[in-house]
A = this chain, B = another copy of it.
Amino acid sequence: MSTTEKLLDAAEYRMRRGGYNSVSFRDLASDTQIKSSSVHYHYPKKEDLGLALVERYSSQFNDELAKKTKTAKTTQEHLRAYQAVIRAALVEDDAICLCGLLGAEGAGLPNVIQHRVQQFFNENINWLVSILPNDMPKAEKLATANTLLAGHQGAMMLAKNMQDNKIFDTITNQLLEQVI
């Protein structure tokens, strides 16, 4: 595994738990067995690191979604895949969504990162809109996409906080049942 990958892994682990400001170059250095100045070689500014991380997270998320919907046909199947991808992020990594956390910290972050997180949400919404039933009015599609996104993000946050992943399932199941 390349050094940049190791760095991003360590940064993702830490950032998805404590947030942007809870991660330091020295932490990442010790996680990856190099010196903090070497971390700066790969990512000169913290902003660079953060941006690269959101970019990787975002494209991995979209890849997962594409993979899990390869054979999906109905809206229901697509939504179950959406739920499953997010659930995996929560359960396997035992952490909430990187963009959910960075989105909450919003104003405390460099502008480039804020915008990249916003892009992640926009992509989410566009995807959701694209897989909702054709006979659903456009405005309702948009509303539903926003509700699903917000609901899933909130569900991760709540489940993590209550230390009970069943809460995520309960909430998202209810959302999927009611929305369709």
Residues of A within 8 A of B (CB): 17-22, 95-96, 100-101, 103-109, 114, 117-118, 121, 142-144, 146-147, 149-155, 157-158, 160-162, 167, 170-171, 174-175, 178-179
Residue numbers in B under 8 Å from A118 (CB-CB): 161-162
The answer, among B101, B105, B143, for a CB contact under 8 Å with A18, is: B105
Distance in angstroms between the alpha carbons of A117 and B101 in the assembled complex: 16
For the complex formed, measure the closest distance between the CB of A154 and the CB atoms of chain B, giving whole angstroms.
3
The reply to whether B150 and A157 form a contact with Cβ atoms under 8 Å apart is yes
A118-B161, A121-B162, A161-B121 as given contacts; A18 in contact with B107, CB under 8 Å: yes
Q: How far is the CA of A154 from the CA of B108 in the complex (A)?
A: 18
